[in-house]
Chain A
Amino acid sequence: MTAPRFRSAFTAQLNVRAASLLVPRRDRAAWVAEWLGEIHHLCHFPEEDDAPDSIEFSFGAFPDAFWIRCDLLRSHQFARLQSGSAARCLLILVSMAFAAVLLGLALPGARSALLPLRNRSSADLVVISSSGYAGTESPSIRLSDYEEWTGNARALFSRIAFYRRAIKGVYLAHHPAAQLVVAQASPDLLEVLNLPVSGAPAAEGHRPRLILSRNAWRAFYRGDPGIVGHTADIDGRPVLIAGLLPDNAWRLPGKVDAVLLEDAPSLAALPSTTRGFVIARIRSSAFPPPRGRWRTMFETRDGITRHFDCFTLCQLQGQPYLVFLFSLLLASLALPATTALPLGDYPRRRGRLPAMLNARRWLFLAAKFALVVLSVGLCSADLAYGFHANDPATALYIQLGVAFPALLFSFRWMLQDQRRRCPECLRLLSNPARVGQASCNFLSWNGTELFCSRGHGFLHIPELPTSWFSTQRWLCLDSSWLCLFPENCSASPEMV
């Protein structure tokens, strides 16, 4: 061989070896041998003058390696999404969570329960409840107490408002009579809540103002834009339809179709024992802003001290989350009663980065846990608040009733699924086989064996846990067994 041809051959060999670094390791030797065989043939048996030289041929090894890698990637991606693969499992869970998010956004009640409060100034709003009442869902404050606080509690509250719910017949010309749940409120309720009202005209005389919710406006008045400014009749009194409340703006206890803003004399005409809800805005200079629930006391004119509970509006809005966390706690406590918690005995395997494999297995479990919790949380809130938004108390019970069993069974499935997966490739194990006999259990074992279709190992599950074989055990197989597993060969179609 001449010197230039020798140099060409040497350079071509270097190129081929560089290109081989792009080839998957297990196929590298075969590819290098094939390329070198061809290069040797080109250098020593140049049959035609127009044949490419060895260097030109060797540069073709780079696109070869690139396409080999692409083919392998495609086949692996396909294998990842095959039945039983971890990617497929996560894809299904992500799809479920995504569907739950879409459902929540589609149902107005669920959307308002799940989304944070629109009004930032609601942080210092509190709902006051009489001590001894379990929550704020029942009207517990007497009108006389409210009237007393408007004068006495100015040091604590900057503004204070009262409302009570009642079903009223609303009569409007050219529209059928409607039975609406009306919040009969003090005149400054909307200012206390800082709620914007669309189409509100200026106060006209002494007529009470009626603010319709958009849902009621659509349901009872077919979305007629001309009714604002008209006069309706409630209990024989003329009231001015002053505007519309934005969607999902009303987040106080008790769903209402309309708010009737009474003037002070009309409100005072109600019996003093009338019970309702009191909303107050805390005076920021009174004390550090409280969080959650707190208790306060007021002294009446008669000198009697009474205790009241104050709930911040933010805390009330967080009730769905609190109920779900409670369900999560209950399900976690009940889980050991339904299935065993240990995931099995997985010995470490030499030379295969056991820490990485172990971490991947736990990450997969954590991802399943997060997706299951997210899906169940959203689905339970969708079911509870999407269809029972008008009754928050019932919605809370529905959410608890849905979330607890769903979480319990999901966690149970999650652990069982994790136990049936290969710790290396995270695919579901297959081909279960019964081994041994129950009558020969002494110094032996009987149970079920499953294997990884890629030949990573066997899983032994004892039928009867014994002191020497109490939990399922994973047996690793070394690479010499791989040829026995056809799926392992099909996963690498480039192997020769």
Chain B
Amino acid sequence: MAADAKLSHTAAMILQAIHAGHIYGFSVMQMTGLPSGTVYPAMRRLERDSLIVSKWEQQSIADREQRPPRKYYRLTRTGRATLEAAWERYPLLARMIPSGEAEAEAERV
């Protein structure tokens, strides 16, 4: 998908949430307030369009903490450019989900 492609508001919110450091599906749901039936399929479509990439947490980390591995998401370069284009269309987006709030969580992973 081209960087100047038009995003729906839902997709832009999800991209903004991931950009802000909410890298798990559940934390994206919590931050955006969108239900599960919307967030996960939308993230799959964003991934298909190469705006985000998903990766499984390392099994060794999950084993150490005695829990199943989680899947986390990151913006791609195209996704970042698309999000920046979406900021012009949705100026309140960055205020609704400010960046940096969950960066500590992202760094922990």
Contact = CB atoms under 8 A, between A and B. Distances in A.
A471 to B, nearest CB: 41
B46 to A, nearest CB: 11
Interface size class of A (residues with CB under 8 A): 20 to 34
B67 A40 contact: yes
Nearest to B26: A38
Nearest to B53: A496
Contacts of B25: 34, 38
A44 B68 CA distance: 11
Nearest to B24: A38
B67 A41 contact: yes
Interface string A279-317: 000000000000000000000000000000000000000
A493 B44 contact: yes
A40 B70 CA distance: 9
A41 B26 CA distance: 9
Interface string B62-90: 00000111110000000000000000000
A37 B48 contact: no
A158 B10 CA distance: 83
B5 to A, nearest CB: 16
Interface size class of B (residues with CB under 8 A): 20 to 34
Interface in A1-60: 33-34, 36-38, 40-42, 44, 48, 51, 57, 59-60
Give the interface SS of chain B, mostly helix, strand, loop or mixed.
helix
Interface in B1-53: 24-26, 29-30, 35-38, 40-41, 44-45, 47-48
Nearest to A34: B71
A253 B10 CA distance: 73
Interface of A: 33-34, 36-38, 40-42, 44, 48, 51, 57, 59-64, 66-68, 71, 493-494, 496
A64 B40 contact: yes
A62 B70 contact: no
Given A64-B37, A71-B41, A494-B44, A57 B26 contact: yes
Interface of B: 24-26, 29-30, 35-38, 40-41, 44-45, 47-48, 54, 56-57, 67-71
B70 to A, nearest CB: 4
27 contacts: A33-B56, A34-B70, A34-B71, A37-B68, A37-B70, A38-B24, A38-B70, A40-B67, A41-B26, A41-B67, A44-B67, A48-B30, A60-B35, A60-B40, A63-B37, A64-B41, A67-B41, A68-B40, A68-B41, A71-B44, A71-B45, A493-B44, A493-B45, A493-B48, A494-B48, A496-B44, A496-B54
B71 A33 contact: yes
Contacts of B44: 68, 71, 493-494, 496
A59 B37 CA distance: 9
Give the interface SS of chain A, mostly helix, strand, loop or mixed.
helix
A481 to B, nearest CB: 23
B45 A66 contact: no
Contacts of B45: 71, 493
Contacts of A68: 40-41, 44
Contacts of B71: 33-34, 37, 496
B68 A36 contact: yes
Given A57-B36, A66-B37, A494-B44, A51 B70 contact: no
A62 B26 contact: no
Contacts of A37: 57, 67-71
A10 to B, nearest CB: 15
Contacts of A48: 30
Given A33-B69, A34-B71, A41 B24 contact: yes
A18 to B, nearest CB: 15
B47 A496 contact: yes
A63 B36 contact: yes
A48 B30 CA distance: 10
A289 to B, nearest CB: 68
Nearest to A51: B30
A322 to B, nearest CB: 57
